[in-house]
């Protein structure tokens, strides 16, 4: 029994070490056209959104350890594809308006920032004041 347990433990350690060799893309491409909205909005976005939705991601230590690294890299890739504040200035005005409205909807519904992100990044949690800032900005963008 003890021999089987040692074999199993050794196999698990070997698998863990082996998966560390799987390459993971953790890059920050150059900022193309950064968000240039009101400073108070940008402050909120930098604190709560930029770690996934920009090319200025602060890759934490756990993003270098598989299999967590795979999840983090995947989430950042998807987030950038949907909305990237480092390319905000390249979006047409109507797309910026739509993105601002969608962003506010996600925040209002509690979908953003992601709950799993907030588990380790409590400082990214949006306060009532932060939410009010984003709501006013999104409404102004939509012309309401």
pLDDT digits (tens, 9 = 90+) for 22-42: 788 889 999 999 999 999 999
pTM for the whole thing? 0.86
- Boundaries of every domain in the chain: 23-142
Tens digit of each residue's pLDDT (9 = 90 or more) over 46-103: 999 999 999 999 999 999 999 999 999 999 999 999 999 999 999 999 999 999 999 9
The Cα 69–Cα 76 span in angstroms is 11
In a 13 Å sphere around the CA of 105, the CA atoms on its Cβ side amount to: 7
* Cβ contact 22:67 at 8 Å: no
């Amino acid at each position: 029994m003890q021999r089987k347990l040692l074999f199993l433990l050794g196999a698990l350690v070997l698998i863990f070490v082996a998966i560390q060799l799987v390459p993971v893309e953790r890059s920050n491409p150059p900022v193309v056209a950064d968000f240039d909205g009101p400073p108070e909005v940008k402050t909120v976005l930098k604190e709560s959104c930029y770690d996934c939705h920009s090319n200025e991601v602060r890759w934490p230590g756990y993003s270098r350890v598989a299999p967590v690294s795979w999840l983090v890299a995947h989430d950042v890739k998807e987030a950038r594809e949907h909305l990237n504040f480092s390319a905000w200035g390249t979006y047409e005005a109507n797309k910026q308006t739509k993105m601002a409205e969608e962003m506010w909807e996600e925040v209002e519904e509690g979908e953003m920032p992601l709950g799993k992100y907030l588990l380790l990044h409590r400082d990214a949690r949006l306060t009532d004041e932060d939410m009010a800032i984003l709501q006013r900005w999104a409404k102004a963008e939509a012309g309401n």
